[in-house]
Amino acid sequence: METEEQRPYLIQGSQLPVFEGNANHSHDFICQSCKESVLIKNYATECYIGFGIRCVICQTISWLPDPNEGEVFPRNVVSLLEGNGYLVRETVNNPSDAVFASKRAIALTKRNNFPSKSAESDLDISSESIKLLVIKLDSVSNSRFSKHLESARRNLKHKKGFFAENPLAWAIALISSKLEKKPFEIDEQAIIAISLIQTTTHLIQRWEAHSEFPNIAIELCSSFRHTIIQLVSACYLFDNGNSVNINPQSSIRGQRSPDLYVQATALEKLYLEVKTPEKLQWPNSELTPGTIKKSIEKALSNSKGQINSSRKGVLIIGTTSLSPRLIPMIENIIENIFRVSGKNYPAVAAIALTSLTEVTARSRPAAKGRFTTNFFVKPILNKHYDGENPIDTN
């Protein structure tokens, strides 16, 4: 564990503050010992993380807090040099509320709160790989998954069709059953099942080091579709350069908190709420324009508790249907909804469509091959958004 003596600190080289922040912040950070020297004028806690400042009057070091658990920094953060005793003779002006942080603090947030980088994600279909996945799912979910899998196997044995209680358990039960037969039959059900298994495997690999993963693992069992759309969307945002994080409050039962947030600046978050309307999920085939419109309007209405004037953001609509005509149909319907009634949702900057699009075999025969699953993510802007829209569609 790093001691305070090992942490970086700056030396106040005159009576001037070391930093001066935005004038909107009326609070000053003063020396915690002598209480006389102003170390940071117009202080915002979120802007100065994980280092110390030595007072010019009493020579005592006042330490600034480490990042809060579950928090991430915005994309642009000023990393302080390693080592101690950097003399600052003149005030560093910070009117735009940039974040100054120690390398240790930056590394800590990346390790605990970011997904790992994307790696090779082809799925090897074999009885052994399926068994290993079940062991992993049981391990991360405190044995909750096996109970769902037993139910899914009974459901499959009695030919009751899709097991909606836990689609992942259904997928594993189905593929395990097909692997026992020769030849391995690739039909629509198998394609969907493979996509769910592969997506789950990939997301576990990327998120298992995250501080919120114990809660994520439990949600994979209880709210599978919602959780995979949440994590797929978060990966997309992260891979495109955003500081995105799981909202810790979203895992607290009874609280209407957004599922994700993007740390846009030190003091500003853009919130994202995930909805997975049942009508837009496989195996539902009633994908008429009227059905889609009602589902999206209901999702918009139900998101007001999470996305509102105090928490502006984006509504994510997730679908696991593989229908090739679905994506352009949903896009057109969302555009029409925003054109007619977007003014009723001024806090919603956009609706982001996150959709399973295809599953492809990478080798032949498919039963011994590897499979790739692709998702499509596209934001549709609300022109009636209150303020400058923060979503860049380029």
Quote the number of domains for the chain: 2
Q: What string of H, E and C letters represents the secondary structure of 243-274? A: CEEECHHHHCCCCCCCCEEEECCCCCEEEEEE
How high is the pLDDT of residue 123? 67
- 355-384 pLDDT tens trace: 987 777 655 544 445 677 788 899 999 999
**Which of 327 and 17 is assigned the larger pLDDT?**
17
In-domain check, residue 118:
no
Domain boundary among 53, 80, 113: 113
- Residue 228 placed within a domain: yes
**Residues 83, 158 within the same domain:** no
- Residue 111 pLDDT: 87
pLDDT at residue 6, rounded to an integer: 66
pTM, entire model: 0.89
Is the confidence at residue 122, as pLDDT, over 70?
Answer: no
> Residue 1 — pLDDT band, cuts 50, 70, 90?
very low
What integer is the mean pLDDT of 161-175? 90
pLDDT score recorded for residue 125: 78
When comparing pLDDT for 370 and 146, which is higher?
146
Judged by DSSP in three states, 38 sits in: strand
* Residue 387 located in a structural domain: no
| 102/137 same-domain check | no
CA gap 91, 73 in Å, rounded: 23
The per-residue DSSP string of 313-324 comes to: EEEEEEE----T
DSSP 18: S
Same domain, 169 and 241: yes
pLDDT of residue 84 exceeding 90: no
Mean pLDDT of 4-16: 86
Query: Looking at residue 348, what is its pLDDT?
Result: 98
Residues 162 and 277 in one domain: yes
CA distance to 53, 76, 171, 287, per residue, from 375 (Å) = 47, 28, 18, 19
What is the predicted pLDDT for the residue at 333? 97
Q: How far apart are CA 149 and CA 131, in angstroms?
A: 12
**CA–CA gap between residue 347 and residue 305 (Å, rounded):** 11
Same domain, 150 and 101: no
* Residue at 347 is within a domain: yes
Same domain, 204 and 107: no
Percent pLDDT > 90 in the chain is: 58
> Is it the case that residue 306 has pLDDT exceeding 80?
yes
**Which of 52, 81, 113 finishes a domain?**
113
**Co-location of 60 and 156 in the same domain:** no
pLDDT of residue 5: 54
For 205, phi and psi rounded to 5 degrees? -60, -35
- Cα-flanking dihedrals φ and ψ of residue 306, to 5°? -105, -40
Per-range mean pLDDT, top range of 109-123, 221-235, 245-259: 221-235
Mean pLDDT of 301-321: 94
Contact 183, 100 (CB under 8 A): no
User: Residue 3's CB: how many other CB atoms inside 10 A?
Assistant: 6
**What pLDDT was estimated at residue 374?**
83
- Judge whether 391 lies within some domain: no
Q: 325 pLDDT exceeds 90?
A: no
Let me know whether 289 and 210 are in one domain: yes
pLDDT at residue number 180: 86
Asked whether residue 388 is assigned to any structural domain, the reply reads no
Q: Which of the listed residues 113, 134, 158 is the one where a domain comes to its end?
A: 113
Mean pLDDT (the chain, rounded): 88
Which DSSP symbol is given to 149? H
HEC profile for 73-123?
CCCCEEEECCCCCEEECCCEEECCCCEEEEHHHHHHHHHHHCCCCCCCCCE
User: Any idea what DSSP says for residue 223?
Assistant: S
User: What is the span of the domain harbouring residue 270?
Assistant: 123-381
Q: How far is CA 86 from CA 9, 61, 80, 308, in A?
A: 7, 12, 10, 44
Distances (CA, A) of 226 to 40, 176, 259: 43, 24, 10
Pairing, β 269-275 against β 260-263 = antiparallel
Do 51 and 198 sit in the same domain of this protein?
Answer: no
Query: Would the pLDDT of 344 be above 70?
Result: yes
- 352: pLDDT strictly greater than 80: yes
In terms of domains, do 353 and 315 share one? yes
Strand ranges across the sheet with 77-80: 48-49, 99-102, 77-80
Whether the Cβ atoms of residue 284 and residue 290 lie closer than 8 Å to each other: no
Instruction: Flag whether pLDDT at 175 surpasses 80.
Output: yes
What's the pLDDT at 16?
97
Give yes or no: residues 201 and 98 share one domain: no
Which whole number is the average pLDDT over 294-308? Answer: 96
**Within this chain, do residues 106 and 136 fall inside the same structural domain, yes or no?**
no
